[in-house]
Structure 1
């Protein structure tokens, strides 16, 4: 969370952290890199200032969302990879 104070999201931008790629099946079979595919699920980390409220506070969000196959801008904060998407680019939200 410390890194997010150095990086201010604007407008309707959403900062997400992609889920990790599964390399082993439930049965214990190792998957080759070609067949792993692209991970389209991510956790929302922060919302831009224009998303819902005009407050300047960044409130951490941990909603699971479905991302499009292409798009997003990679951002490196505290040696961790995050991705920026516009709110309209996110396909949906997983309900608990």
Structure 2
């Protein structure tokens, strides 16, 4: 079984992290601890991260067998549905981000 440790980077801004190949840099949506009406949710309900996030950066794409590049299907700013597990966590300062392969993203949320 392979486990990923949390990569802690000493960079000043997540903007300086550029994904390679078909990788996508995602910031997961924050856990909602309080409803719009001001009610606090129990801690058990707020432990699991929401299954969605925002694309911050994308790689150029992965090479096909013929040498051409298969572009990534997402772009910066897209909201996406993420799998419950997977991705490589990257911590910059106090913020945590994740790198996924384009093919691991489950869906794009259209506004």
Same fold (TM over 0.5): yes
Contact 2:54 2:78 in 1 (8 A): yes
Give the structure-2-normalised TM-score.
0.68
Give the aligned CA root-mean-square deviation in angstroms: 2.3
Deviation of 1:79 after TM superposition, in Å, equals 4.3
Partner in structure 1 of residue 104 of structure 2: 89
Segments of structure 1 that go 5 or more residues without pairing to the other structure are 54-59
| 1:29 paired to 2:39 | yes
Aligned residue pairs: how many? 89
Q: Given the superposition, is the C-alpha separation of residues 31 and 92 from structure 1 closer, same or farther in structure 2, using an over 3 Å criterion?
A: same
| 1:76 paired to 2:86 | no
Q: What is the 5 A alignment of 1:45-84?
A: 45-50=56-61, 52=71, 61-77=76-92, 79-84=94-99
Higher share of residues assigned helix: 1
Task: Describe the superposition over 1:7-36 as per-residue Cα deviations: whole angstroms up to 9, x where unpaired.
Answer: 331111000001111111233321122112
Segments of structure 2 that go 5 or more residues without pairing to the other structure are 1-12, 63-70
Contact 1:15 1:85 in 2 (8 A): yes
| 1:39 paired to 2:54 | no
